Structure 1
Amino acid sequence: MQDDRQEDASAIATDAKAQAATERAQRYRERFAATQAARSRAAVGRPSEAEAARLVAEFHARGGQVTVCPPAEEPQPDEPRTQRGRR
Structure 2
Amino acid sequence: MFDKAPMDLYKHKIIFVTIYSLLESIVACILLGQQFLHFVTSVLNPIAISVETYANIVVFYALIIGGLFILFWPINFIFLEIGFKIADWIQDRYPWFF
User: In which range does the TM-score fall when normalised by the shorter chain?
Assistant: 0.3 to 0.5
Structure with higher helix content: 2
The TM-score, its normalising length taken from structure 2, stands at: 0.42
Q: Which has the higher contact order (CA 8 A, sep 6+)?
A: 2
The TM-score, its normalising length taken from structure 1, stands at: 0.46
Answer with 1 or 2: which has the greater Rg.
1
